Structure 1
């Protein structure tokens, strides 16, 4: 579960853009900001645990009157994404994100709960790029196998997507069984053919031997 940190009462902006690789590693950026109400405002405070400091960096963000930070991350495993989400946690809004792999099928399911936020100034977007064509989703399909969602304040926005990866790194169980089965059948047929050929050769040799012996008598 990913719970993004921003103030409950203020206007917020969260732009999350992620790319999921066929190796189940996730890279991307998350812009987390609130409207600046006074000069010293710097946005929601964010921290990253020591175990992620080599893959996650924070940089200041300021645009359109919003101030905060941009979280950059690269090659995070699913577990590391969950750890990062815990680092960015607050009770203001809940952002659930779950990836699941089953063979060549990868599914995404989650929701963004913004029921406690007022509509004014809320700008929350999620975009995820997949390494293969998206088969089914409730989001907006864009180019380059990307899906986008726009979350609205005062409600829960659910999102889902299903993708079938190309079989590049390995062979699926079904294909393996079919190939092995076909190989076994082919081997059995080859053995049968060789046996028939050997049998016929033996018959010819016996008949030739009998003929030669009859000629000597």
Structure 2
């Protein structure tokens, strides 16, 4: 019986998939994992901060987990090697990312979507949501902490709020959800007083424009009528 010949590219794809699964298993099961995130949200909905993703070196020359930076964020995000306390990995620093760009970065740098983070604004309310999946990580092999500083009043959170900075310390063996809601002050938008001033100035401007148009229209009509007729008695 004739045996089908396997295409070389098909074999390469299988090897690549196997290698990716192996790297993921090494990250979640071998050695301790360190994930530290420190973010600051500004009043104009921009996020800056630093993210460390590392693990204890398995062998000599181990560089830890490799993170992928999306091409569209190359100019705003910088990655460099991280080495401390026997951990190896990468530090990702970023400045002035929009809420949408934070979601893109979060989705890109994590294998298997273990880490998820997003921000949304609705009027003066900004909400943060996310999660970290540590279900496959042993209890004694994690050093994970997330800190986010907000500019407004925190109205709801499941983290520890310390004067506007919320901290989460996810536990191994479970999925930890991140949740926070922040009420922004008038500084983050147009205040009521400023709005009244703008509207008042606009009304005055419209009134002056109407008067000017009336004046020029009157002068034009006078010119069209010609010089006044002098009556002789």
Tell whether the structures are fold-level matches, with TM greater than 0.5: yes
Distance 1:49 1:99, change over 3 A: closer
Partner of 2:148: 128
Structure 2 partner of 1:203: none
Q: Over the residues paired in the alignment, what is the CA RMSD in angstroms?
A: 2.3
- Unmatched runs of 5 consecutive residues or more in structure 2: 1-23, 201-233
Name the structure, 1 or 2, with higher relative contact order (CA <8 Å, separation 6+).
1
Say which structure is richer in helix.
2
Structure-1 separation of matches of 2:99 and 2:77: 14
Are 1:167 and 2:189 matched, yes or no? Answer: no
Q: CA deviation at 1:9?
A: 1.4
- Deviation of the 1:121 alpha carbon: 2.1
| Residue of structure 1 aligned with 2:52, choices 16, 19, 31 | 31
The number of residue pairs the alignment matches comes to: 172
What is the deviation of 1:60?
Answer: 1.1
Q: TM-score, normalised by structure 2?
A: 0.68
For 1:113 and 1:168, the matched residues in 2 are separated by 36
SS at match of 1:160: strand
Q: Secondary structure at the match of 2:146?
A: strand
Q: 1:133 Cα shift? A: 2.5
The answer for the alignment partner of 2:218 in structure 1 is none
Pair 1:94 & 2:111 matched: no
Structure 1 portions without partners, runs of 5+: 184-217
Deviation track 1:20-70 (CA, whole Å, cap 9, x = no partner) reads 111111110000001112111010012212221111111111111110010
Q: How does 1:76-87 map to 2 (within 5 A)?
A: 76-87=97-108
**Distance between the aligned counterparts of 2:103 and 2:122, measured in 1?**
19
Aligned to 2:166: 147
Q: State the TM-score, normalized to the length of structure 1.
A: 0.72
Instruction: Give the match for residue 7 of structure 1.
Output: 27
Paired with 1:171 and 1:27, the residues of 2 have a C-alpha distance of 23
Q: Which residue of 83, 89, 96 corresponds with 1:62?
A: 83
Looking at structure 2, the residues matched to 163 and 169 of structure 1 have their Cα atoms a distance apart, in angstroms, of: 12
